Structure 1
Amino acid sequence: MSVRHAIGRGLEYGRSFLQMGLLKIGGRVAAKLRADRLRVGHSVRTAQPQAFLPSRYRYYRTSLRGLAAQLQSASFRRRLTGGSPRNRVLCLAFGLGVGFIEEQLEDDRKSAATCQEIQAVFRRKRFQSTMKPFPSGYKLEDYIIGNQIGKGSNAVVYEAAPQCSTLKDKDSNCSLVQLREDEGEGERTRSVMCCSLRNFPLAIKMLWNFGAGSSSEEILKSMSHELVPAGPLAVELEKEHIVHDGQFGVLPKRVSAHPNVIRVYRAFTADVPLLPGAQDEYPDVLPARLNPAGLGNNRTLFLVMKNYPCTLRQYLEASTPGRRQGSLMLLQLLEGVDHLCKQGVAHRDLKSDNVLMEFDSDGCPRLVITDFGCCLAQRNASLELPFNSAWVSKGGNASLMAPEVATAVPGCGAVIDYSKADAWAVGAISYEIFGKLNPFYRGVGLESRKYEERHLPTLPPADVQLVIRLLLRRNPSKRPSARVAADMLHLSIWGGKALANRDSTGMKKLADWLLCQSAGVLLKGCRGPSGNSVEVELQRSFLSNLDLEDLRSAMGFLLYGWGQRPAHVLSV
């Protein structure tokens, strides 16, 4: 229970007695208490609980300065000295009221301590990538380039495999690479098309370079925001210092590894090669040495990442996930956004094209946020961007800009707060996950600049509908953070109806449930591969981010939602 809530409870007790017509009595009691204090001196001002009071009240002398003890002691003293019955009732009631508040505060302190202990345990268990490390890979020649697997407005992505010399264990991949080099043109194309993700475990992203020059220093500085999800060994040590003076002035600390955020394993500059399909797919961005009409520079930045089977958009075009799978997918996006926000990064271009997918051993989709070309990343982690000119970029994809971003007006002292903008975009993408058209795409109906919340389409799952409607609130101050929204889904999926009460008993049940969840996740982690499933990863993320106030907010939203009576929201 917060201090504000405790004060409110005290005011409620006082107001109830005033409404009972005891205003004059309270005045007389207050005057009498003042007289007693002046008459008996310092000893009464520091009155302690009497021996016949319950022992649990004895800590009030430090927590609430002995207020409850003084009031209750005064009540019993007046009972023995013949004070007015009404006066005794008034003092005792106020004393007990303060005592109940303190008791609930003590329960909250115990619950908060439990959350901190669980959080400490799971924060030590950092996320480990399943990719095998390779010692080199800082040159384009270290990789075998396969088919093009994606193309956007500022980059193209190809599947890739490390050369035999860069692999830690030289196995069947070597024979595959050698076979491809010896094949004829027709057979080469066929074999490339038949290669699986096992043969091409990596993906190489080649950035377009129109204005960054052809020196490695200028390229790394200009495109430094692409390195926000880079690992500690992504850039060669001798070039590491260059990227610390990037496009936004100073490159922020890079985000730590997370199962729902892409990881960049290598980043290097190289001459732009003539890759398969380049002349047809992106001739204008090629340098003049490859295309006389091209506008690109000779060198550019290359990023090496894990190769994923498809994007979220491609997956949703072919299938519609079930209710539980959809909830887990939404939850993964919220976990990824929360991880970025806590480290001072706003993605600013979340859409289904910028979310990659794979499947765990149980067939559950695992989502990964990628493409940080439009991100806002500042070392002060404020997520606030000065908007003093119309030339300041607000991010990408205007259709999925949060209302506070889309309606921002440039001016002296104007600032855009991105702390809840990505969470809003997740709410919009959720419609696609559950088989609906995204209501904010052009031609569908709504615009983020001027939509009304009552016009939002409904979704079949009532629990998810509540979370999405809260995420799509126009006013960011009334919108839950990604952490609180994620906690709502965690409680909805795994909490059960036993956590529906918010009284002190409910908080005790919540603490017991958290301990059971922790034990279960730790046991699953000891069983081997099952410990890397999507559900276990989500539970670990939840337990490593426990915060009592966030949990309380999540339970409050679940129970009261839009100010209505509690709904059946804990039923996934």
Structure 2
Amino acid sequence: MLKLLSAAKQPGRRTRKEMSFLRRLVCQGRALLKEYQLFGHQRCYNNGQSDWRFFKIDLNPRGKGISGGFAKRNAPSPSLSMPELSSSIARGTGNAVRSNSPASTLQWVGQEVRRIFVNNILSRVTTNEQIAKQTAQRLMYGDSRPFFALVGVSLAAGTGGMLTQESEFDNLCWEIRESMLKKQKSRVSEIIVPDGTVSVKDLKFGNLIQQGCNAAVYSAEWANNPSEDAKNEPLAVKMLFNYDIESNASTIFRAMVREIVPARHVSLNNINDLDRGIFDTVKRCPPHDNIIEITHAFVDQIPTLPGGIERYPSALPRRLNPVDGLGRNMSLFLVMKRYDCNLSEFLNSRREQLNFRARLLIFTQLLDAVAHLERNGIAHRDLKTDNVLVDLSEGEESPRIVLTDFGCCLADRSNVLKLAFRSYDTERGGNAALMAPEVSTAVPGSWKWISYEKSDVWSVGAMAYEIFGDVNPFYKSQSSEKPLDSRSYTEADLKSISGDVSATIRNLVNVLLKRNANERLSGQEAAIICHLHLWAPTTWLTRATAPDEDEIMQWLVTLTTKALCNGSEELQYRLIQNFLRRAKFREVKSAAEWIANSNNE
């Protein structure tokens, strides 16, 4: 394999046959790297202590590593993991270990394949060699706007045969994803926080925002922060109630580790090196616009807070409530952005005012969040409108939502989206009313497992009734009708959502609530359908035949050009960018075909 790669590294122009040969080499090289990863996917130990890193290959001689969520302090960082290496090679970026190494050669081949593809496309859209050359150079250096503008104009003009192979559609979608990835990276801002570890002393607590059976949420701000911009950012601090966990940081983190799955920074000042391996058991949720960003998580002494004695007296320790206190002295604190309200409050207070598009924006964002969790092997297991927060900074017609409260999530590294179900004592999830049928009807046994691959998307389907202004059929209501039970309902028992809702969304909700998980769409598939509903031509929602490949590609390129040329941070543009960042041609085509087929039913 390595000899073939070295032989292919020759200067000069490439024919289509040679390009196909190089593409096969890249694909086989990726397979080789995956096999290599299986052997290298093991924890390394330094002096008997885990450093929580996978086997890595040094690709960054400048020493600028990629930091992880639970990375050990002072651990060597100028390295790149094998998955990152594969992605780097596919993008044609990164620094080589040495010129004659397999990684370097395969990286060069990836760059060559990309260059040939770009030149072939540009040769079909323009006859001016100077324009083609400048466009290719700007694309390689990160400015993809001229490239997509030229391709979009050519597709709109109906240039026949510009894209002739399915691989060319896939490659063009890959360029779209890369352009969105670079654009989103450029807008990431570093969160300014006090230096060192965070504790209760670093925060000024305000009023009690909300209180549940397991936690209390307070408004807050940093006590001593040199940045005026950071002071203007409203904060919320969630204090978990601790009744029976020993007042020890390691023990509390071990018992509440699922709460910090979406955390960006965890203060480990009270944890010794031997106990830090507790974070290896759970996955880390990468950042996403529709997932709550916990900026800091730390364990500290429970302080005297406003409303504590009146609202949750039994959760306080004896030192704060000598009469009725049943809680322990220490607990877990989560620092996050403060939002305006939760989704339940928002929908109930604006039942008549919200139009269909605003509700569809909420539904799409919720599916985006679930799709993001699916891609990272995480199941929330407690989806309900109370666990969705709403940001109204852009107005009520453009509500931005985030998914929160991961205390019941399944984020096991060893058994992805599956749970061994040995006895009825095993925790299935947090919300019994919106529990998917395959979970609520599961029977324990010696070799039984519960699959959560499509359980969250079923819960979103049930929540859709509330989102689109109807009564959730699985909740008790003031009507005399008995609520449906996920263990025994039939699909014929489900009523269609009333009100101003399109046929596409009604059909989508019906599919999400299928009892058989194999008949449901995934969160990713459902999210793409909603994005097509929002941004695609309206004729796609009513026509009986799906758009052809050129139509789909023309729309994707036009949407990409619009997103790249518009620097707005409005909700709709962020949604478009998130959609394009993961757009794959086959998935978009499949979603368009699903809409057309549903119109024929």
TM over 0.5: yes
Shift, 1:472, TM fit: 0.9
> Of 536, 558, 564, which aligns to 2:595?
558
Shift, 1:284, TM fit: 1.3
Matched position secondary structure for 1:385: strand
1:98: which partner in 2? none
2:178: which partner in 1? 120
TM-score (norm 2): 0.67
CA displacement 1:174-231 (0-9 Å, x = unmatched): xxxxxxxxxxxxxxxxxxxxxxxx5x70001000112220011111111111110111
Determine whether 1:414 maps to 2:427.
no
> Of 549, 552, 555, which aligns to 1:507?
549
User: Which aligned pairs between 1:20-419 and structure 2 lie closer than 5 A?
Assistant: 107-126=165-184, 132-136=191-195, 138-163=198-223, 165-169=224-228, 201-231=234-264, 233-236=265-268, 239=271, 244-246=276-278, 250-292=280-322, 293-320=324-351, 321-361=354-394, 363=396, 364-380=398-414, 382-419=416-453
Asked which structure has the greater CA Rg, the reply is: 1
Distance in 2 separating the partners of 1:276 and 1:238: 26
Distance in 1 separating the partners of 2:508 and 2:387: 22
TM-score (norm 1): 0.70
One-letter identity of the residue aligned with 2:600: R
Distance in 1 separating the partners of 2:315 and 2:341: 25
Shift, 1:560, TM fit: 1.6
Whether contact under 8 Å (2:207, 2:219) holds in the other structure is yes
The verdict on how the C-alpha distance between 1:147 and 1:387 changes in structure 2, with shifts beyond 3 A counting, is same
Distance in 2 separating the partners of 1:241 and 1:315: 44
Extract unaligned runs of 5+ from structure 2.
Answer: 1-15, 24-160
One-letter identity of the residue aligned with 1:314: E
The verdict on how the C-alpha distance between 1:362 and 1:111 changes in structure 2, with shifts beyond 3 A counting, is farther
The verdict on how the C-alpha distance between 1:167 and 1:146 changes in structure 2, with shifts beyond 3 A counting, is same
Shift, 1:129, TM fit: 6.2
Determine whether 1:436 maps to 2:470.
yes
The verdict on how the C-alpha distance between 1:167 and 1:311 changes in structure 2, with shifts beyond 3 A counting, is farther
1:468: which partner in 2? 509
Whether contact under 8 Å (1:266, 1:303) holds in the other structure is yes
CA displacement 1:13-58 (0-9 Å, x = unmatched): xxxxxxxxxxxxxxxxxxxxxxxxxxxxxxxxxxxxxxxxxxx99x
Shift, 1:274, TM fit: 2.3
Distance in 2 separating the partners of 1:106 and 1:204: 55
CA displacement 1:364-385 (0-9 Å, x = unmatched): 1000000000000012472111
Distance in 1 separating the partners of 2:365 and 2:235: 22
Distance in 1 separating the partners of 2:406 and 2:427: 14
1:448: which partner in 2? 486
Distance in 2 separating the partners of 1:322 and 1:234: 40
Distance in 2 separating the partners of 1:505 and 1:282: 58
CA displacement 1:119-155 (0-9 Å, x = unmatched): 1222234465678512336010111111111112211
Shift, 1:451, TM fit: 1.2
Extract unaligned runs of 5+ from structure 1.
Answer: 1-55, 64-102, 174-197, 526-530, 567-572
Matched position secondary structure for 1:399: coil
Matched position secondary structure for 2:367: helix
One-letter identity of the residue aligned with 1:515: V
Distance in 2 separating the partners of 1:242 and 1:365: 44
Shift, 1:413, TM fit: 1.3
The verdict on how the C-alpha distance between 1:264 and 1:505 changes in structure 2, with shifts beyond 3 A counting, is closer
Shift, 1:426, TM fit: 0.9
Distance in 1 separating the partners of 2:181 and 2:545: 29
Matched position secondary structure for 2:219: strand
1:544: which partner in 2? 581
Distance in 1 separating the partners of 2:355 and 2:344: 16
